[in-house]
Amino acid sequence: MAHSFPHLFSPLKIRNVMLKNRICSTGHDTSLPTAAIPNDALVAYQRARAAGGAGLIVIQVAAIHETALYSAHVLKATSDDCIPGYRRIAESCHEFGCTVFGQLFHPGREIMESQDGSTPAAYSASASPNERFHVMPRRMSKRLIQEIINGYGDGALRMQKAGLDGVEIVASHGYLPSQFLNPRVNVRDDEYGGDRDNRLRFLREVISTIRERVGDMVIGMRISGDEKEHGGLASDEVLEVCKALDVDGELDYFNVIAGSSTTLEGSIHIVPPMMIENAYVAPYAATIRTNVSKPVIVAGRINQPQIAEQVLASGQADVCGMTRAMICDPELANKTAAGRIDDIRACIGCNQACIGHFHLGYPISCIQYPESGRELMYGQREPVSQRRKIMVIGGGPGGMKAAAVAAERGHDVTLYEKQKQLGGQALLAQLLPGRAEFGGIVTNLTREMELSGVNVVKNTEVSLELIREQTPDAIILATGARPRVPEVPGAEEGHVVDAWQVLTGGANVGGRVVVADWRCDWVGLGIAEKLARDGCTVRLCCNGPQPGHTIQQYVRDHWLGVLHKLGVEVIPMVRLYGVDESTVYLQHTTSGEPVMCEETDTLVLSLGHDVVDELEQQLEEFDAEVIPIGDCLCPRTAEEAVLEGLKAGVAV
- Of the candidates 327, 335, 324, which has an alpha carbon nearest to the alpha carbon of residue 374? 327
CATH class of 386-483+611-651: alpha beta
CA distances from 46 to 24, 141, 425, 535, 643 (A): 12, 38, 32, 48, 21
Task: Tell me the whole-structure pTM to 2 decimals.
Answer: 0.97
The residue ranges of every structural domain in the chain are 2-377, 386-483+611-651, 496-607
- Residue 605: pLDDT above 90? yes
**Cα–Cα dist 261/278, whole Å:** 21
Residue ranges with strand state E in 287-368:
296-298, 319-321
Question: Of 15-19, 111-115, 526-530, where does mean pLDDT reach its minimum?
Answer: 111-115
What pLDDT score was predicted for residue 120?
87
CATH no. of 496-607: 3.50.50.60
pLDDT in tens, 296-354: 999 999 999 999 999 999 999 999 999 999 999 999 999 999 999 999 999 999 999 99
Q: How many helices and strands (H and E) does the chain possess? A: 22, 28
DSSP state of 173: B
The CATH number corresponding to 2-377 among 3.20.20.70, 3.30.1490.20, 3.40.190.100, 3.30.420.40 equals: 3.20.20.70
pLDDT in tens, 322-332: 999 999 999 99
Residue ranges with strand state E in 31-146:
56-63, 75-76, 99-105, 123-124, 138-139
Residue ranges with strand state E in 64-165:
75-76, 99-105, 123-124, 138-139
How would you classify the pairing of strands 56-63 and 99-105?
Answer: parallel
Cβ atoms of residues 98 and 52 within 8 Å: no
**Cα–Cα dist 206/503, whole Å:** 54
pLDDT band at 1 (very low <50, low <70, confident <90, very high): low
Cβ atoms of residues 35 and 85 within 8 Å: no
Cβ atoms of residues 174 and 232 within 8 Å: yes
Residue type, 543: N
Cβ atoms of residues 400 and 496 within 8 Å: no
What pLDDT score was predicted for residue 446?
98
CA triple 72-114-550, angle to 5 deg: 80
